[in-house]
Amino acid sequence: MSRIYAFANQKGGVGKTTTVVNLGAVMADWNYRVLVVDVDPQSNATTSLGLNSRQISPSIYDVLTDELPPSAAIHATAWEGLDILPSTPELAGATVELNRIADPRERANRLKQTLAPLDAYDYLLLDSPPSLGILTVNTLSAAHAVVVPVQCEYLALEGLSQLVRTISLVQRGLNSDLRLRGLVLTMFDTRTTLAHQVVEQVRQHFPEQVFESIIPRSVRLSEAPSYGEPGVFYAAGAKGSQAYRRLAWELLRLDGHAPPWKPPDVE
Ligand X SMILES: Nc1ncnc2c1ncn2[C@@H]1O[C@H](COP(=O)(O)OP(=O)(O)OP(=O)(O)O)[C@@H](O)[C@H]1O
Residues that bind ligand X (CB under 6 A): 12-18, 40, 42, 44, 130, 186-187, 215, 217-218, 221-222, 225, 240
Nearest distance from residue 67's CB to ligand X, in Å?
Answer: 26
Choice between 159 and 259, CB closer to ligand X: 159
Our CB check for ligand X shows the closer of 65 and 131 to be: 131
First to last CA, the chain: 30
Contact 147, 5 (CB under 8 A): yes
Q: Which does 41 bind (CB under 5 to 8 A by kind): ligand X, Mg ion, none?
A: none
Asked whether the beta carbons of 122 and 27 are under 8 A apart, the reply is: yes
Q: Which residues of 114-148 are buried (b: 16+ CB within 10 A; e: fewer)?
A: bbeebeebbbbbbbbbbebebbbbbbbbbbbbbbb
CB 27 within 8 A of CB 123: yes
- Binding span for Mg ion by CB under 5 A among 16-24, 61-69, 144-152, 204-212: 16-24
Of the CA atoms within 13 Å of residue 211, those in its CB half-sphere come to: 28
Question: What residue 12 binds from ligand X, Mg ion, none (CB within 5 to 8 A, per partner kind)?
Answer: ligand X
- Minimum separation from the CB atom of position 220 to ligand X (A): 8
16 touches Mg ion by CB under 5 A: yes
Rounded CA-CA distance 60/48 in Å is: 16
Size of the site for Mg ion (CB under 5 A): 3
User: Which residue's CB comes closest to Mg ion?
Assistant: 17
* Among ligand X, Mg ion, none, partner that 217 touches (CB below 5 to 8 angstroms by kind): ligand X
CB nearer to ligand X: pick between 70 and 231: 231
Among 10, 19, 22, 44, binds Mg ion (CB under 5 A): 44
* Ramachandran region, residue 256 (left: φ > 0; alpha: ψ -120 to 50; beta: rest): left
Q: Does the footprint of Mg ion cover residue 17 (CB under 5 A)? A: yes
User: Which H, E and C letters describe 104-123, residue by residue?
Assistant: HHHHHCHHHHHHCCCCCCCE
Task: Summarize as ranges the residues that interact with Mg ion (CB under 5 A).
Answer: 16-17, 44
